[in-house]
Amino acid sequence: MKSFKEQLEEDFDSTFFNPAEFAETHLINDISVLVVVDNDTIMELNLGKNADADGIFTDDKMFFVQKKDLYFEPVAGQHMKFDGEYYVVSNVVEDFGGYTIVLTGNED
């Protein structure tokens, strides 16, 4: 009998991080990785495209990625290249063998 953790990891691979279901291939630091982008939640949290006091727009992104697919441990303040654009990692939450990452970048 599988443990809860083993079943959860299997579900991540077979459903959540399955490209036929939720996952999409994106480039993180020029390496192709399966991620689940969550634009709906970021907009609900009002973290999407916002203007600061100086009128500079930011373009925020939130996604889920499995730890095993990254060659590094992401931390807040770190720079990350996502699909050819540079962002700053503004938040990282480690959960169930993966990361929820929020990126912040300036819009041109």
The domains found in the chain, sorted by start residue, are: 4-106 (2.40.10)
User: Given this model, what pLDDT does residue 101 score?
Assistant: 95
Residue 91 scores a pLDDT above 90? yes
| Stated pTM of the model | 0.79
Helix (H, G, I), strand (E, B) or coil at 6: helix
Output the pLDDT for position 48: 45
104: pLDDT strictly greater than 70: yes
- pLDDT bracket for residue 94 (50, 70, 90): very high
Element (H, E) at 39: helix 39-44
Greatest extent of the chain over all pairs of C-alpha atoms, in Å = 58
pLDDT digits (tens, 9 = 90+) for 26-66: 999 999 999 999 877 766 665 545 545 554 556 789 999 99
